[in-house]
Amino acid sequence: MRNEKLDLVTGDFYTQNFQKGARENTLILNMGPQHPSTHGVLRIILELDGEYIVRAEPILGYLHRMHEKMAEVKTLVQYMPNMGRVDYGHPLAWNWAFAGAVERLGGIEVPERAEYLRVISCELNRITSHLLWWGAYILDLGAFTPIMYAFDDRERLLDILQIVTGSRLTYSSFRFGGVCADINDKFKELVNDFIPYMRTRLPMYKGLVTDNIILRKRVEEIGYFSPDMIRRYGATGPVARGSGLAYDVRRAEPYSVYNRFDWKVPVYEKGDAMARYLVRLDEIEQSLNIVEQAMASLPEGKHIVDKAPKYTWKAPKGEAYFAVEGGRGKVGVQVVSDGGKNPYKIKLRAPGFSNLSLFAEASQGTLLADAVAILGSLDLIIPEIDR
C-alpha cells in the first residue's frame, strides 16, 4: 500500500509539466499557493539543487476572477467598482486608468478641481501601497516589527482616504468626469498634519531598516535585472526605475495635472533588489511633495462634471487606451466599444503581471532565501496579476 502510494505520479498538471524538464538529483518544491512569502495565492514551482534554485516557474490563476469577462456583461458605470478590486494596494490608479480611458473615448472633460483631487488621493494611495509593500517585504526578510510601524502610518492615511473615498481598502471613488465626493476641512487638516509627520518617519525607516547591515546584505546585489531584460519582459514602475530606466508614465505620457508640480523621478542604476527598495522609499517622499503642492494650489470649482454619465450611458464607438503610473508600474486600460450598452472589450494591463514574469529568469542560480527577497522586491499584488 505504502510503496504503491510513494510510486504514484504525484503532483497536478503543472507539477508534472514542470517535472518533465527536471534534471537528475534535484528537488521539486512547491512554494505556495499557501506560503507565507507569496503574499496570498501565488504558487511557484522550484527545482532545487540543495538550496540553490535551478529553475522556477510561477503558476498563476488561484485568484483569477475574469474581470475582462465581467466587463462585457456590465455597463461602463457598473464596471467601475471592479476597478477597486483589481489591485487592493493601489486601487485608485486602476480607477484612474479606467475612468481616463472612458473619458478619452467619450470625450468627457474633467474639471480642474477634480483633477487635483485625483492627484491628491492617488498619490496618498501610492504612499499606502508603498508602505504596505515596505512592511511586507521586511516581513519576508524576517523582521516582524517594521510592518507594524508601516501599518501605523498607513492607518493614518487610510483615515484620510476614507474621508474622500468613503472606504478603506477597495476604493472606487472616481467617476467619469470627476470624483464622487469633494474634500472637507477635516481632510485638509489631516493631510497637512500627515505630510510633516511622514517626513519625520522616513528617517526612522532608514535607521531601523534601510541602514541595517543584515538587511543590506540580504538585498544588495540580489536579483539583478538588466535594462534589456526589463524591456523584454515589459517590466515598469519601480522595477524599471531600479534598473536605471527613468520611465514614469506621469512624465513620459503626462496625464492630468502632474506636469504642474515639481517632483523628481527617482532612479537607481544598480538594478538589484536594494535599488528597487530605494526607489520606492524615495517615491514616498516625492508623493508627499506632490500632495503638498497640490493641496496648496487646489483650485475652486466642481468635483465632477454636471452631466456625469449615468449607468445607462453608452460610450461612442471606438477604442481608447489610458495608462497611469500605479504603485507597481504602468497600469493600462484599453476600452473597446461598439456603441452598445456594455463595452465590447476591456483589456486590463497589470504591471505586476509583467514584473512577475521576470522572476523565472532572475531567480535562476540564486538561493531559496534570495528568491524570497527577489519575489518581495517585485511588489506583487496577486489579485492584480490574476485579475
Question: Taking CB under 8 A as the criterion, which residues in 291-310 touch other proteins?
Answer: 308, 310
Is residue 277 involved in binding other proteins (CB under 8 A)?
A: no
Residues near other proteins (CB under 8 A), total = 119
Task: Give the binding range for other proteins (CB under 8 A) out of 111-119, 157-165, 283-291, 295-303.
Answer: 157-165
Among 19, 112, 159, 192, binds other proteins (CB under 8 A): 159
Length of the chain: 387
**End-to-end Cα, the chain, rounded Å:** 42
What is the Cα–Cα distance from 158 to 169, expressed in whole angstroms?
Answer: 8
DSSP for 18-42, written as a single string: HHTT--TT-EEEEE-SS-GGGTTT-
Burial of 352 (0-12, 13-18, 19+ CB in 10 A): buried
* Residue 330 interacts with other proteins (CB under 8 A): yes or no: yes
- Is residue 264 a contact point for other proteins (CB under 8 A)? no
Return all residues near 337 (Cβ < 8 A) that are at least 6 apart: 105, 314, 315, 316, 317, 318, 319, 343, 344
Min. distance of Cβ 297 from other proteins in angstroms? 23
Rounded to whole angstroms, the Cα distance separating 379 from 355 reads 9
Question: φ and ψ at 29, to 5 degrees?
Answer: -120, 125
Question: In the window 48-87, what residues touch other proteins (CB under 8 A)?
Answer: 51, 57, 60-61, 64, 66, 68-69, 72, 74, 77-82, 84-85
| Residue 358 binds to other proteins (criterion: CB under 8 A) | yes
Residue 367 binds other proteins, judged by CB under 8 A: yes
Single out the residue of 359, 352, 354, 355 nearest to residue 374, CA to CA: 359
All 3 cell numbers of residue 274?
536594494
- Contact set for other proteins, span 310-329 (CB under 8 A): 310-311, 317-323
Nearer to other proteins, 217 or 297 (CB): 217
Whether the CB-CB separation of 225 and 235 falls below 8 Å is answered with: yes
Please choose, out of 116-124, 183-191, 257-265, 292-300, the segment that lies near other proteins by the rule CB under 8 A. 183-191
Which of 123, 140, 379, 384 lies at the binding interface for other proteins (CB under 8 A)? 140
- Is the peptide bond prior to 33 cis by the omega test (within 30 degrees of 0)? yes
- Residues 103-132 within binding reach of other proteins (CB under 8 A): 104-105, 107
Q: Does 208 bind other proteins (CB under 8 A)?
A: yes
* Residue 204 found at the interface with other proteins (CB under 8 A): yes
CB 267 within 8 A of CB 286: no
CB nearer other proteins, residue 196 or residue 204: 204
Site for other proteins contains 15 (CB under 8 A): no
Minimum CB separation of residue 74 from other proteins in Å reads 6
**Cβ 131 to other proteins, closest distance in Å?**
14
Residue closer to other proteins by CB (options 99, 105) is 105
